[in-house]
Chains A and B, each alone.
Chain A
Amino acid sequence: MRKTRKSRAARRNPFFSAGAFGAFVLGAIVLVTLLAPLIAPHDPLAQDLAHTNAAPGEHGYLLGTDQLGRDLLSRLLYGARTPLLVGVLAVLCGGLFGTALGLLAGFTRGWPDQVLSRLTDIQLALPSILLALLVLSFGGQSTAVLVLVIALTGWPAYFRLVRARVLALRTSEYVEASLTQGIPAWRVAVRDLLPGVRGLVAVTATLDLSRAVLMEAGLSYLGLGAQAPEADWGLMVSEGQGQLLSSWWIAVLPGLGLVFLVISANLLGDHLAHRREDHGGREAAAEPSLAAPTPARTP
């Protein structure tokens, strides 16, 4: 372990690290999205029907306009708002839910564990995009439902990791000590076990963010997420697809934004996972799959 750590550190480029790059790009996207009302040159919804499909630079539009004459640059600046908002909320909901239930199942074992484990088995047996389509088509389409659906398809990952970790931690002496002192079980769970899974949950959440963003984008592309006339990268790609023949930039540029967003979250997540592996010592070596969850994939 020590040897690999050394060689890994020696190979590390002092001027460039993929994790730092990911954090930087992610931070830049968040900052631009927050500052969009201040820096956008136009209203993202304002139509200029005299200048539709303008090429970049034409008529004073830096990146051109879309099929309704809306400024593409302004729409790009605003376009990460929904993916980020939905993504972060979904990760929070799914993460909290999954972690809480994982803690419960791992700590109590017994029937709650049985029931919840079977439930995750069933859910993981269903493709998440189909589950999302099912809920969105019959449960109505709104941002709240979108967040819930993405959280719903994300919680089993947290549940499984936290449960496995808690099962391992439960038998350690400090937990036994707390329990024999007569400290109520829920307090032991929160005070002694929760800190032990914090790092794991943080890594999972970073990678889950890219999954959530991808899912929001995919659903918006299909017309089930963000609704027109909203500026949303996934929706903008779908609207621009019909204009590819005359003005490719309308579809291609928003997609590029999505690619950067997802890559940066994946790079950061991978980096955090590897760092856990490097510094986690014994614990990570025993459960390599726990320390490095696979990155999110395109739905």
Chain B
Amino acid sequence: MLAFVLRRLGMTLVAVWGALSAVFLVLHTSGDPALMMAPVGADEEQIAALSHALGYDRPIAEQYVAFFGDVLRGDFPDSLTFQQSALHVVWERLPATLTLAATALALACLGAAAAGLWAGGAGGRGGARREWPMWLVFLAQSVPGFYIGVLLVWIFGVELRWLPTSGAAGPAALILPAVTLACGVTPPLARVFRNSLRGELARPYTRTGTALGMSRARVLRHAAHGSMLPVVTVLGLEAGALLGGTVIVESVFSWPGVGQLVITALQNEDYPLVLADLTFLITAFVLVNLIVDLLYGLLDPRVRHSSGRS
């Protein structure tokens, strides 16, 4: 187990290194970074002073090393619009994003479980009567997330006036953004659960269960338990879709989270904030992947005993 944890940790460190290098590369190949970090209308002297204060006039290799130190310490240039530590601004917005993502994930799991059980529970028999949830899933997969959001705003916010369509005032405001975000995450989960369940139901042990006179519900429960591993894998992969999805969904509903922050910061040309926000999101994503990998190792002994990558 220790070797497995260390190996995954090593891979995560490499991924974080790669991600931060990408941020550094993009920042420094797009012209003078001090020009971007300076407020609009700063004169040359101010820009030069800022460039010196932020260390942009030092040799590039030295900056590269210093960049990692800064990121580790959370030391980013101050946000221009908020006039305070950019990471602090990001940190304040984090709870809203986590609430949204967690609710959406719960909804997606419920939706995928229902669709997968209905479509896969018949073990491949049943035809169109059983398969229709998968068509819904295909549809949800093909509709852009922001368009689902706009449609929900139109139907439930504007026409029916049932739910608030922007901001985060009260739990009712959470419903539409969470449903929108869930629509993006449910399809792959439902697909893999259905297929995996179908596979389990074709295996001898479920047939034995049925032959012994077990109720259908009990057979399904055992089969669902056995079909969980691929579902967990996809769940881990979906963590990224969830984080990326928050950027768009939060913008549609003006949800005051980390994702909306990066877009408003871009519109306000607050590049220090954009830098801190994106670095935070990317690092968070890599760490979430690590946690999922470790959980996967706990669930399936074969994973932690296999040597390296397949």
Residue positions of A touching B, CB distance < 8 A: 118-119, 121-123, 125-131, 133-135, 137-140, 210, 214, 217-218, 221-224, 234, 237-238, 240-241, 244-245, 248, 251-252, 255, 258-259, 262-263, 266, 294-299
A298 touching B30, Cβ below 8 Å: no
Alpha-carbon distance A134/B276, docked complex (angstroms):
11
Per-residue A-contact encoding for B32-73, CB less than 8 Å = 1, 0 else: 000010000000000000000000000000000000000000
A244 touches B144 (CB 8 A): no
Let me know if A251 and B154 touch, CB within 8 A: yes
Instruction: Decide yes or no whether B105 CB sits under 8 A from chain A.
Output: no
Whether B240 lies near A127 (C-beta < 8 A) is yes
Residue of A nearest to B165 (CB): A244
Contact status B30-A139, CB under 8 Å: yes
A38 to B113 CA separation, bound complex (whole angstroms): 49
Indicate if the CB atoms of B150 and A241 lie closer than 8 Å. yes
Selected contact of A125 from candidates B142, B188, B191, B289, CB within 8 Å: B289
Residues of B within 8 A of A262 (CB): 142-144
User: Using Cβ atoms and an 8 Å threshold, which residues of chain A touch B275?
Assistant: 138
Main secondary structure, interface of B, reads helix
Asked if B244 CB lies within 8 Å of chain A CBs, one says yes
Known contacts A130-B244, A221-B144; 5 additional CB pairs below 8 A are A210-B142, A218-B146, A296-B141, A298-B141, A298-B183
A288 → chain B closest CB, angstroms: 11
Q: Which residue of chain B lies nearest to A216 when distances are taken between CB atoms in the complex?
A: B144
Partner-binding segment picked from B15-23, B168-176, B203-211: B15-23
Chain A residues, Cβ within 8 Å of B144: 214, 217-218, 221, 234, 255, 258-259, 262, 298-299
Contacts of A140 in B (CB 8 A): 30
Contact of A255 among B138, B150, B245 (CB under 8 A): B150
From known contacts A121-B11, A258-B144, infer whether A128 and B139 are also in contact, taking CB-CB under 8 Å.
Answer: no
A298 & B247 in contact (Cβ 8 Å cutoff) = no
Residues of chain A with a CB closer than 8 A to B229's CB: none
User: A165 vs B309: C-alpha distance in the bound complex, in angstroms?
Assistant: 17
Is there an interface contact between B278 and A130, defined as CB atoms closer than 8 Å? Answer: yes
> Which residues of B lie under 8 Å from residue A127 when comparing CB positions?
240-241, 243-244, 281-282, 285
Any A CB within 8 A of the CB of B26? yes
A126 touches B188 (CB 8 A): no
Q: Return B71 CB to nearest CB of chain A, in Å.
A: 14
Interface of B with A (CB < 8 Å)?
A: 11, 14-15, 18-19, 22-23, 26-27, 29-30, 36, 138-147, 150-151, 153-154, 157-159, 183-184, 187-188, 191, 240-241, 243-245, 247-248, 251-252, 262-263, 266-267, 271, 274-275, 278, 281-282, 285-286, 289
Q: Is the CB of A255 within 8 A of B147?
A: yes
9 contacts between A and B (CB under 8 A): A126-B286, A130-B285, A134-B26, A137-B266, A217-B147, A222-B263, A255-B147, A297-B187, A298-B142
Residues of A within 8 A of B36 (CB): 138
Residues of the A chain whose Cβ atoms lie less than 8 Å from the Cβ of B142 = 210, 259, 262-263, 266, 295, 298
CA distance A299 to B151 in the complex (A): 17
- Main secondary structure, interface of A, reads helix
Residue of A nearest to B153 (CB): A244
Name, among B144, B188, B286, the residue most crowded by chain A CB atoms within 10 Å (CB to CB): B144
Contacts A252-B154, A266-B138 given; indicate if A129 touches B143 (C-beta within 8 A). Answer: no
Least Cβ distance of B194 to chain A in Å?
Answer: 13
In Å, the complex CA distance between A244 and B151 comes to 10
B21 closest partner in A (C-beta): A122
A125 touches B143 (CB 8 A): no
A135 to B27, CA, bound (A): 9
Complex CA distance for A121 and B309, rounded to whole angstroms: 11
Q: Please determine whether B146 and A221 come into contact, CB atoms closer than 8 angstroms.
A: yes
Residues of A within 8 A of B289 (CB): 125
Given A138-B30, A252-B150: A133 and B247 interface contact (C-beta under 8 Å): yes
**Most B Cβ at <10 Å: residue of A140, A224, A237, A296:** A237
**Which chain A residue has the least Cβ–Cβ distance from B252?**
A241
Min CB distance, A262 to chain B, in Å? Answer: 5
Residues A122 and B14 in contact, CB atoms below 8 Å apart: yes
Distance between A16 CB and nearest chain B CB, rounded to angstroms: 13
The reply to whether A130 and B146 form a contact with Cβ atoms under 8 Å apart is no
Chain B residues contacting A134 (CB-CB under 8 Å) are: 22-23, 26, 278, 282
Q: Is the CB of A129 within 8 A of B278?
A: no
| Distance between Cα atoms of A234 and B150 in the complex (Å) | 11
A221 touches which of B141, B191, B248, B286 (Cβ 8 Å): B248
Query: Are the C-beta atoms of A126 and B143 separated by less than 8 Å?
Result: no
Asked if A299 contacts B145 (CB within 8 A), the reply is: yes
How many angstroms between the C-alpha atoms of A24 and B138 in the bound complex? 18
Contact of A299 among B244, B263, B266, B274 (CB under 8 A): B244
Residues of B within 8 A of A251 (CB): 150, 154
- Select from chain A the residue with minimum beta-carbon distance to B19: A126
Residues of B within 8 A of A221 (CB): 144, 146, 248, 251
Taking a contact as CB atoms under 8 Å apart, the answer to whether B154 and A248 are in contact is: yes
Partner of B14, one of A118, A240, A248: A118
Of residues A128, A129, A248, A259, which shows the largest number of chain B Cβ atoms within 10 Å of its Cβ?
A: A129
- Of A223, A248, A258, A297, which is within 8 A of B267 by CB? A223
Shortest Cβ distance from B31 into chain A, in angstroms? 9
Q: Which residues of A contact B145 (CB under 8 A)?
A: 218, 298-299
Complex CA gap A255/B27 in Å reads: 34
* B285 contact set on A, CB distance < 8 A: 125-127, 130
